[in-house]
Structure 1
């Protein structure tokens, strides 16, 4: 009798323990998938890099909140400092880590150009979120390298036609001597000459040059309608400021490289007024997805704004995660899914990759600084004819 009771008691205890174990057992955790973000987190264009990182981080946070997501995503952020040698180091570090399935990579064109071979060699898919030099995608046929933003070819064709349509005829060109600046000079000059415009003088300057008295004095003597600047924000701030000191009244025309809050802050509201910038894609601020992005970004209370290219980083991260959701965290399979991207809705508009994994961008958005903020040209007082740019 005692033996039977002992067996019964033991069975009851075992059942109770199993029941408690089932109750206490946590829900099966999702597999963690790592994706990289690489951009300039320090240095002169760090504001753009931090905005890009925050935007990719936002995409990851939102995906992790989705109960339908098959995986939990982790963003691994790396600083390329907008320097090619550093970019190669961090790209190699990321690509060699097999736990990282793909990357949202690079704002600076010189860095993007230096790293494409790394991604190809390690077989890691990369989606460029900001670099605009055409050769990043078209210079090779690396199936691992994609770009969600457009190129400087798109920018400069629209930029010239727009400026010529306003009535401008004579330009002086200042560009930095990196691949980025030389590329902008090349493409804008080609479109300008085809269209019948006149280049009065072209001046290459180093990205770290501080004093432009020699170049700007010569430009003042040439008396152009417009000074075209091909370079990034820090250099643009110095040039625009020194233009004012030398009394140069020409219209200041920049590229996407100055489409930054830091440009306005650097030169001040008064001098920034009327400056122009051209950037790929539809004005995301007006797209339903753009409004969603801005509201969600604000909720996270990041310390930096998203800047001009943040939405592209957000879109790039989502394309990668969409691919992982379809085929799992396998680099080759993710690459193949990305290569077949066609007509996908994102916050920057439709994304379709061509045979070189370059997004086909059908629209360039024109921006002008008005009252201390970048405003879509058509929405501005300038676009509505209430204000005039310099020389008109």
Structure 2
């Protein structure tokens, strides 16, 4: 509470200072627009709203600093986690020359079809959540950068967990978007180093599908020790709920697409209990400035939680703003400044872009315990027998 009050006091002082200093200098700050793009409605909106709020916090903190050169406006665009909608809103942002850069995309299926547009119009993009490797590694678009990790990391950690847990037989269910298929490929590749583990069956499901009884019945015939899911929250909830209804209690693990409050809310704490997931970010409070971020986020009065990807949206926004501060509101110059990112200290740790403008990160494991996602090593599951 003391830290929270101190933060509020600091913001008040900065705000007053801004009011006092600006009239004295007689210089109004130039306005600069950046875009936030993510799923603000639909089944994965909890992550999108947490990302939006976190990006807004970064903007507000910058604007409160009288030393900043510009007054930044965050233009918020809803891609609905739908590729066609994503192309529409990215085109709208890219053709608006007043928008200097974008912090974009949680859904890989959207990001992979919009990178061409960012490149064609020269709009710098910093990705805050999409994990499909091809978004950065599948092209040489200098406009496209990513602060979060990829599903390669997630797949390796999931395979390692399956091995350490002693599971020998794995059933795979994944959605047939680029995201789901990609997750399946990288998980399968990672399993190759464990020859004692067998994939008993692999089942692709459409994102509009609601009845999974055929796939679940077929999967159960293979007598799996664990069911792996590669997809997003809406289908993850539906599949886990149907498993519960037909009496299949096989352990359930999933990719980062289910690591959000919506997954637990959709199932209820009892059904979600013990589900394991993997994510390229550590718990917020584990970061060096994580508690400060949470205090500032709380003081800002946002209704939604920052969720697992909020820290990445915050870090991506600060990185973009700092590039604009350094070189000015020019798309080409901002792109080049972002390309050169090395040893940039952020909320989520040090950001270093490789030759594909991909930040180097590590994956982390989580589990649902008592109605919350808990860091595996801090959970009763991680401390006791698996």
Normalised by the length of structure 1, the TM-score is 0.91
Distance in structure 1 (CA, Å) of the matches to 2:260 and 2:54: 15
Distance in structure 2 (CA, Å) of the matches to 1:159 and 1:280: 12
Deviations 1:17-71 (A, max 9, x none): xxxxxx9888321111111000111111111111111110010001111121111
Highest Rg: 1 or 2? 1
Distance in structure 2 (CA, Å) of the matches to 1:259 and 1:235: 13
Which residue number corresponds to residue 289 of structure 1?
289
Distance in structure 1 (CA, Å) of the matches to 2:42 and 2:322: 32
Does structure 1 retain, via aligned residues, the 8 Å contact 2:228–2:252? yes
Which residue number corresponds to residue 51 of structure 1?
50
Distance in structure 2 (CA, Å) of the matches to 1:123 and 1:167: 49
1:107-122 maps to which residues of 2 (within 5 A)? 107-122=106-121
* Alignment partner of 1:200 is 2:205: no
Which residue number corresponds to residue 35 of structure 1?
34
Which residue number corresponds to residue 374 of structure 2?
375
Distance in structure 2 (CA, Å) of the matches to 1:180 and 1:60: 30
1:1-392 maps to which residues of 2 (within 5 A)? 27-196=26-195, 197-361=197-361, 363-385=362-384, 388-389=385-386
Distance apart, 1:204 and its partner CA: 0.4
Does structure 1 retain, via aligned residues, the 8 Å contact 2:51–2:313? yes
Secondary structure of the residue aligned to 2:100 is strand
Deviations 1:312-366 (A, max 9, x none): 11000000011111111111111111111112111111111110111111x2111
The 3 A distance-change label for structure 1 pair 254 and 360 is same
Normalised by the length of structure 2, the TM-score is 0.92
Distance in structure 2 (CA, Å) of the matches to 1:335 and 1:282: 28
Deviations 1:99-126 (A, max 9, x none): 1110001111111011101111111100
Does structure 1 retain, via aligned residues, the 8 Å contact 2:283–2:308? no
Does structure 2 retain, via aligned residues, the 8 Å contact 1:283–1:348? no
Secondary structure of the residue aligned to 1:311 is helix
Does structure 1 retain, via aligned residues, the 8 Å contact 2:281–2:308? no
Distance in structure 2 (CA, Å) of the matches to 1:24 and 1:286: 41
Deviations 1:167-223 (A, max 9, x none): 111100000000000001111011113322110000000112111111111122221
Distance in structure 2 (CA, Å) of the matches to 1:201 and 1:194: 18
Secondary structure of the residue aligned to 1:153 is helix
Distance apart, 1:235 and its partner CA: 0.4
Distance in structure 2 (CA, Å) of the matches to 1:282 and 1:299: 22
Distance apart, 1:288 and its partner CA: 2.2
Q: Which runs of 5+ in 2 are unaligned?
A: 1-21
Does structure 1 retain, via aligned residues, the 8 Å contact 2:133–2:152? yes
Secondary structure of the residue aligned to 1:62 is helix
Does structure 1 retain, via aligned residues, the 8 Å contact 2:36–2:77? yes
Distance in structure 2 (CA, Å) of the matches to 1:339 and 1:82: 27
Q: Which runs of 5+ in 1 are unaligned?
A: 1-22
The 3 A distance-change label for structure 1 pair 31 and 190 is same
